[in-house]
Amino acid sequence: MNGSASIVQEFLHGREALTREQSARGFGVHTTRDYTALVDRLVFRLIRQVTALGDEGKDAAAGFAVLGTGSYGRRELCFGSDVDLMIIHADGLSQTTRKAIAQALYPIWDARLELGYTFLTADECLHLLHDDFSVLTAVMDLRFLLGSPGLYHSFQRRIRKDLRRDPETLLNRFLVYQDKREKKYGRVDFFLEPEIKEGLGGLRDLHFMAWISRIFLNAGQLGRIKRIPDFSHFGLSQLMYSKGFLLKVRNHLHLLGGRREDRLLVPHQTEIARTLGYHDRPYSTGPERFMRNIYLHLNRVRYGREQFLAKALDILVPLPPEPSPKRVSRKFQVVKGNLVLKEGSLLDMDPLVVLQAFDEANRLGLFLGSGFIWEAREKLLYEGRTLASMPEAKALFLSLILNPKNPRIIRLALEIGLIGHFIPEFKRIRHLAQFGYYHVETVDLHALSTLQNLYDISKGVFEGPWRQFKKAFDALDDTRNLFLAGLIHDIGKGYRGNHSVKGAQIVPRILERLGIDAEGIRTVSFLVENHLFLIDRSQKRDLNDEKTSVQVAQAIQQTALLNQLFLLTVADCFATGPAASSEWRIMLLTELYSKVRRILEKGRLASPDATIRVRNRRRSLYRALIRDFPKRDILALTEQASTRYFLNTPPKDMERHFRLALRLGEEKFKWSLEPLGRAPVTQVTLCTRDRPGLFSRMVGVFTSNNVQVLSASISTLKNGLAFDIYRVTNPVDPLREKEVWTTIHREAEKAVVEGEEFDDDLEVRLRSKMGPGHPGNPWIRTVRIDNDATDFFTCIEVYSTQRRGFLYLLAKKLFSLDLDIRFAKVQADQEKITGVFHVRDSRGQKIQDPTRIEFIRTSILSISS
Amino acid sequence: MKKLEIIIKPFKLDDIKEAVLQLGVGGMNVSEVKGFGRQKGHKEIYRGAEYQVDFVPKIKVEMVVPDDLVSRIVEAVKETARTGEIGDGKIFILPVEKAVRIRTGEEDEDAI
C-alpha cells in the first residue's frame, strides 16, 4: 500500500533525526516523549487509513479503542523499545474490522519496531489480570490513542472498581513481585553489568512507585503524592533527574546494540562513557567515572523506592501503635514510630540537635520524621562543617557508629551527608563499584554492611558452626577499634594500588580528627592494612603445615588483635556477597584462626622474642651463606625449615646443616664431625633424605660401634630432608678412632640407602652389645602424650632411667608404632634419659584416637632390654 | 579426548594451574567443593565449641584435553599437588565423546 509506505518512511526519517540530536538535553525524557509522539503519529495514520475515524481519531460510535501500554503508554519509548498496544472492544467487533486493524498495523514491522497487540473485552482483560501480573501492570499504564473515548473511560472505571475489591491481596502481589526482582537482580553479575530497566535501582523501581501511587494512594501520577502529608518531603525531583539520566543511557544502549539491549555490558560501558564525554582522570578512567554516576543514580532510585515503600506500607498496612518509649529527651517526641522535634524548627537550633536526634533514634530503634530529615539535610548543607568540628558532636557521632543498632538510621546518616562531614574521605568511595568479583554493592554501602555484620555478630545472629564468632567477640575487652575498622576498612579504594596499604595510610588522619588516641589509631591501622591477610593465608597456604600458622601468629602477636582481625575479616566476607562468604571459604578461614589462636595462647613459638630471634637467626644465616651459595637456593631451603628448628638450633649448627644440604646434590648422606671442647665428645651434624626409621637406625649404628648417644636433636624439613644433630661419646679406643668413624659413616650410609634390609644385620650385632645395664637401679619410666600443646603434632614425652641401648629400643618402638618423627630433642646421661618427640601418624595427622594413644603409651612403657 | 577431574587441596590451585598451562592445556574450570576420602573429616575443638567437620574444603579442577597430553598432565599434577599427607586428592580420567566450541562451531580437538 503506497500510503503505508510513505507513512513509514516519514516515521523513519523522523526517528533518524531524533537519534542524531545530541544536544545537551538530548536523549533523556524529552527525547522519549518526542519519540513517543512520532510513534503515535505512525499508529494514528496507519489505523486511520482503514477505519472511519475522524481527524482527531475519536469516534464515540467506534466499537473499539486503541490504547498504548507499557513504556509506550508511559510515553517513555526508547529507541529499541517494543510498541505495545491493547485494542479494547465491547464484544461487537466484527472479524473484518479486526483483520483490517491488524493488517493496518503490519507496516509497523517495516518501521523496524517490535509490535505487540491484543484484542480484549473488559471481561477478558479482568480475567487475565487476575492471573498474570504483567497484564495487571500493562493495565496500569494505559493511554488512549484512538477510537471511542467513552469505551476507554468505562473500561478504566471497570478495572478500577475491580481492583478495589481486594486491596490486600493486590498489594501482596506487588510485594511478591518486588521480592522476586530483588532476588533475581541482586546477584554479582547484575551488579557489575547493571540492567537499566529491570535491575535494582532501574526504571522499574520508578514504575513500581507509580503503580503503587496510582492504585493505592489515589495519585494518578507519581508527582501527586507530594500532596499526601507523609510524602510532602519526599525527594521526588532528585528521582526524576535520575530517571532522565537512566533514560538517556538506555537510549544510547539501544542505539549501540541496534535493538532493545537494557544490560549495561562492559564494552557498552566504555563506549557510552566515551560518547557522553567522560574523560580519564588521574585516579579513575572515563568508564569508571561514568559507572560511578550510574551507581549514584541506581543507588538513589533504589533507596528512594525503599523509603517510598516503607512510607506507603505505613499508610496502607499500619502496624498497631507501639507504646512510646519512656526515655525520650525533652526536645523530642515520637510520632508514628518516628522521632520528631516537639516544637520549633531545626533550622533555628544548634546543629548538635541533628546528631542528638540520630543518636537517640538509633538507640531507641526509631526512624526520623520526614520533615525533620528534610530540615536536617538543609542544616548540614550550611552548618555541617561547623558541626563536624565540635567535640561533643564527634562524641555523638562515634556513639552512633560504634553501636549501629538501627541500620536505617545509619544508612540515612550516609544519605544526608552526615558521615561525609565527619569522615570526608568517605566521599571518595561513595557510589564506587568494585570490579573484583564477588561484590554486590558499591564500596560505601559495603562499609555500612560490614558495620552491620559486626553488630549482628555481637548480638549472636550468626548461629550453628558460626557460633564461635560471638565467642571471639565476647573475648574482646574493647570493641571500639573493631567497629571503626569495620567502617573504614575499604577507605583506600578509589586510589591506585593496594587499597589495604593505602587505607592504613589514611586511617590516622581520619581517627585523629575524630579524637581517637594513638593506640587506637595503631590498632585500626593494623586491622585495615591486614583485613585481607587471613583470607589470603587460609586459601593460599598449607593449613596442615605448622609454619603457616606460626607465621601468621608471628605477624599478629596478640590474641586480642587476632580476634579483632578475624571478626573484621568475617564481617567483610559476609558483607561482600554470597560467593565470598560461602561455607567453604569460612571453614578455611576459621581453621586458620583456631590454629593461630592456639599458638598464641600456648606458646612460645610466636612470642615477641621468639619472633625476633627467628628473624635475626634467618638473617645471620643468610649473610653467612650468601658468599658461597646462590640466593635462590638459600631462600628456598630456609622456607623448608620449621620455626621450631630456627628456635631450637644454635646458629653455628644451622649453618653447618645448610652447608651440608646445599652441597648434598645427588648424594644420599652428608655429615660433619666436630670435637666438642675438651671432653671426649663429638658432635655429628647430619643431613640426609629422611625416611621412616632413620632415627632408630642412626642410634643403632652408633650403639653397635660402642658410641653412646648423649643427645639428639632431629628435625624433618618439608622437602623431606632430615637435619639431625647427635652428640656422642668418642669411640673408646683413641688409636682406632678414625677407623671407627669411617666404619660408622659407611654403616650409616648403608642404613640410609638400604633401609629395612639393614635392620636385621643391625639387630644381630646389637643384641650382643646390650647388657642389663646398672643392676640395682629401679627402672623408672614416665610417658606423657599431649595432644593439646599444638594443633599439628602429637607430643610424646618420655622420661626414663638410663640403660644401655634404651634409646635404640625407644627409637625402634616409635618406628614400629608407625609414628613419623618430625621434631625431637633427646638428652641422656649416666642416670637418666629424657626425650620429647613431635610426631604424626603415617598419614600426616595427629593421633586422635584415644585407644591408639593408650596403646602407644603402654607400648613405650613396656620396653625392656 | 579425555576429561580430567582433579581434586586437590585449596592452596595447591595456583601451582597446578601453572604446571598444567605449561604443558599446553587450553583452559580449565575450577570449583570450590567439599569432600572427604578415607580422611573422613575430623573433629575440631575450638575452645569448647566442638563440632564435627564432616567435609573438608577442596578444589576441583576440570579440563578436557587431547589423549596424548593425559599422562604428562597426570604426572605433573601428581608431583605438584602432593604434600605426602592424607587428603592430597585424586585424579579421575573420563572418556569424552565429543566437544563443541559454541562461538565457532569447531568440534573435537579444535574445540579444546
A182 domain residue, yes or no: no
C-alpha A254: how far from its chain's center?
A: 34
Main-chain dihedrals φ then ψ at residue A120, nearest 5 degrees:
-140, 145
Task: State the number of CA atoms in the 13 A half-sphere of A207 facing the CB.
Answer: 28
Contact A542 B86 (CB under 8 A): no
More confident site: B76 or A111? B76
Instruction: Find the angle CA(A568)-CA(A573)-CA(A578) to the nearest 5 degrees.
Output: 160
Q: What is the DSSP string of A674-698?
A: EE-TTSSEEEEEEEEE--TTHHHHH
CATH number reported for the structural domain that contains residue A112 in this entry: 3.30.460.10
**C-alpha to C-alpha distance for A707 and A727, rounded to whole angstroms:** 10
Does the residue A410 lie in any domain?
no
Kindly report the number of other CB atoms within 10 A of residue A604's CB atom.
Answer: 10
Q: Which domains does chain B have, with CATH numbers?
A: 2-110 (3.30.70.120)
Q: Would an 8 Å CB–CB cutoff place B29 in contact with chain A?
A: no
Helix (H) or strand (E) holding A16: helix A2-19
Is the CB of residue B11 less than 8 Å away from at least one CB of chain A? yes
Kindly determine whether residue A582 and residue B32, on different chains, have CB atoms separated by under 8 Å. Answer: yes
A13 with A115, same domain? yes
Question: Model confidence at A244, in pLDDT bands (50, 70, 90)?
Answer: very high
User: Which amino acid, A634?
Assistant: I
Q: Find the closest chain B residue to A846 by CA distance.
A: B42
Handedness of CA A143, A148, A153, A158 (dihedral sign): negative
Is the residue at A102 inside a domain? yes
Tell me, what's the pLDDT at A726?
93
In A114-159, DSSP assigns E strands to: 115-120, 143-147
pLDDT more than 90, % of chain A: 56
Out of A542, A568, A602, a domain closes at: A602
Same domain, A109 and A122: yes
Which residue of chain A comes nearest to B42, CA vs CA? A848
A844 vs B contacts (CB less than 8 Å): 83-86
Which of A316, A343, A373 is where one domain is finished?
A: A316
Is residue A544 within 8 angstroms of chain B, CB to CB? yes
Q: Distance (Å) from the C-alpha of residue B24 to the closest C-alpha of chain A?
A: 24
Q: Secondary structure of chain A: what % helix, strand, coil (to 5)?
A: 60, 10, 30
Going by pLDDT thresholds of 50, 70 and 90, the confidence category of residue B47 is very low
Residues A763 and A839 in one domain: no
Helices (H), A541-693: 546-556, 559-576, 583-602, 608-625, 631-640, 643-648, 651-664
Question: What is the distance between the terminal CA atoms of chain A, rounded to a whole angstrom?
Answer: 115
Strands A820-828 and B29-35, sheet pairing: unpaired
Q: What does the block give as the cell for A722?
A: 632430615
Mean of per-residue pLDDT scores for chain A: 89
Least confidently predicted of A246-255, A692-701, A732-741: A732-741
Shortest distance between the Cα of B2 and any Cα of chain A, in A, equals 28
Q: What's the structural domain count of chain A? A: 6
- The residue among A474, A535, A542, A547 with the most chain B CBs within 10 A of its CB, best to mutate, is A542
Do residues A808 and A698 touch, judged by C-beta distance below 8 A? no
Q: Are residues A542 and A566 in the same domain?
A: yes
- Is residue B21 over pLDDT 70? yes
Given a contact cutoff of 8 angstroms between Cβ atoms, the answer to whether A449 and A490 are in contact is no
Nearest by CB to A844, which of B10, B46, B86?
B86
Domain match, A25 and A81 both: yes
- Partner A contacted by B51 (CB < 8 A): yes
Instruction: Among B11, B51, B86, select the one facing A542 at the smallest CB separation.
Output: B11
pLDDT of residue A617: 93
Nearest-Cα distance to chain A for B85, in Å, is 5
Instruction: Please indicate, yes or no, whether residues A104 and A196 belong to a single structural domain of this protein.
Output: no
Q: Grade residue B48 by pLDDT with cuts at 50, 70 and 90.
A: very low
In this structure, the answer to whether residues A678 and A643 fall within a common structural domain is yes
DSSP of A496-547, one letter per residue? SS-HHHHHHHHHHHHHHHTT--HHHHHHHHHHHHTTTHHHHHHHHS-TTSHH
A10 close contact with B: CB closer than 8 A = no
Q: How far is CA B79 from CA A822, B19, B74, B89, in A?
A: 22, 10, 9, 12
Given a cut of 70, whether residue B49 has pLDDT beyond it is: no
Considering A232-236, A283-287, A515-519, the range whose residues carry the highest mean pLDDT is A515-519
Q: Which of B44, B56, B58, B79 is most worth mutating to test chain A (most A CB atoms within 10 A of its CB)? A: B44
pTM of this prediction?
0.87
CATH number for the domain harbouring residue A686: 3.30.70.260
Residues in chain B: 112
Optimal mutation site among A467, A534, A539, A719, interface B, most CBs of chain B within 10 A: A539
At A841, phi and psi to the nearest 5? -80, 180
Q: Enter the C-alpha cell of residue A225.
A: 503524592
Is B47 close to A471, i.e. CB distance below 8 A? yes
* β-sheet bridge partners, residue A832: A801
Residue at A260 is within a domain: yes
Secondary structure class of A673 (helix, strand, coil): strand
Please report, for residues A184, A815, A823, A826, B99, the alpha-carbon distance to residue A710 in angstroms, rounded to integers and kept in the order given. 72, 20, 17, 8, 67
Judge if A660 and A695 occupy the same domain.
yes
Q: Among partner residues A543, A594, A843, which is closest to B46 by beta-carbon distance? A: A594
| Weakest mean pLDDT among A223-227, A759-763, B18-22 | A759-763
Q: Which of A14-18, A447-451, B71-75 has the lowest mean pLDDT?
A: A14-18
**pLDDT one-digit tens code per residue, A125-177:** 999 988 899 889 888 899 999 999 999 999 999 998 998 888 899 999 999 99
For residue B46, give the chain A residue with the closest CA.
A594
Residue B59 and residue B12 in contact, taking contact as beta carbons nearer than 8 Å: yes
In CATH, what number is assigned to the domain containing residue A232?
A: 1.20.120.330
Residue A772, pLDDT score: 56
The answer to whether residue A430 sits within a structural domain is yes
Residue A339 and residue A305 share a domain: no
Cell readout for A100 is 483490517
Does some domain include residue A180? no
Q: Given CB atoms, is B26 within the 8 Å cutoff of chain A?
A: no
Is A528 in contact with A488 (CB distance < 8 Å)? Answer: yes
Q: Per this entry, what is the length of chain A? A: 865
Max Cα-Cα span within chain A: 134
> How confident is the model over A564-588, as a mean pLDDT?
92
Cell of B76: 605433573
Instruction: Give the separation between CA A45 and CA A50, rounded to whole angstroms.
Output: 9
Same domain, A82 and A203: no
Structural domain including A77 reads: 2-165
| Whether residue A776 is found in the same domain as residue A763 | no
Q: State how far the Cα of A403 lies from the Cα of A426, in Å rounded to an integer.
A: 19
Q: How far apart are the first and last CA of chain B?
A: 9
Residue A126, C-alpha cell as written in the block: 479482568
Boundary of a domain, candidates A367, A402, A437: A402
d(CA A545, CA A547) in angstroms, rounded, equals 5
A64 lies in some domain? yes
Report how many Cβ contacts below 8 Å link chain A to chain B.
53
In a domain, A388, yes or no: yes
Residue A594: alpha-carbon gap to chain centroid: 20
Least CA distance to A583: which residue of chain B?
B57
Q: d(Cα A784, Cα A767) in Å, to the nearest integer?
A: 28
Closest CB to A540: pick one of B11, B33, B49: B11
Four-CA torsion A736, A741, A743, A747, nearest 10 degrees: 160
Mean pLDDT of A662-668: 88
Whether residues A255 and A195 share a domain: the answer is yes
Confirm or reject contact between B53 and chain A (CB < 8 A). yes
Q: Tens digits of per-residue pLDDT, A783-804? A: 999 988 888 899 999 999 887 7
A590 in contact with chain B, both atoms CB, cutoff 8 A: yes
- A506-541 burial string, b = 16+ CB within 10 Å, else e? bbeebbeebebeeebbebbbbbbbbbebbbebbbeb
Q: Which residues of B touch A849 (CB under 8 A)?
A: none
* pLDDT greater than 50 at residue A606: yes
C-beta atoms of A584 and B11 within 8 A: no
Q: Is the pLDDT of residue A417 over 60?
A: yes
